[in-house]
Amino acid sequence: MGQEQTNRRLEELRERFKKEPLVRLLKAGLRDLNTRQAHVYVPANKELLIVDGIVQGGVITAVADFAGVYVAMAQFPEGHTPCSNINIHFLKQIKEGEDIYAIATVVHMSRSSVLVEVSVSNSYELAAQATMLFVKPRTEPKT
């Protein structure tokens, strides 16, 4: 993609992010998006906690997925890149009041997929590490 096309795609993805129903439910923000990284932020409010006052693991996975899919989609001029595999290691609990930060980085692209690593942290230390494999978008033939 040329720089102008890349800039258009990134703006399109930023607008798409704002319209995601789960993004609105989580009160997520897209702090940064470029062709190398995506930074997603979610406040750890009471609605995201399990009984013990910690953020539920599925929420952490969802935040990692948002960061991962948006940096993967930034590689292409159009289309959605579905996740075909996610592997996440939970290293530390995130508690109420500690916000969730996910930083996704593209580490490899092949003819058919994009490999992304995502680091999820609270305000000050690593809480989870994920690797995600995204399928390159299939473009429909224009008729």
- Of 102, 76, 72, 103, whose CA–CA distance to 85 is shortest? 72
Number of structural domains (the chain) is 1
Range of the domain at 114: 3-135
Domain assignment present for residue 74? The answer is yes
pLDDT tens for residues 71-118? Answer: 999 999 999 999 999 999 999 999 988 999 999 999 999 999 999 999
| In-domain check, residue 140 | no
64 lies in a domain? yes
On whether residue 83 sits in a domain, the answer given is yes
Q: Does 141 map to a domain?
A: no
Q: CATH number of the domain that 27 lies in? A: 3.10.129.10
Query: Does residue 86 form part of some domain?
Result: yes
How far apart CA 111 and CA 24 sit, in angstroms, is: 33
pTM for the whole structure: 0.92
Question: How far from 124 is each of 3, 33, 51, 68, CA to CA, in Å?
Answer: 34, 21, 23, 21
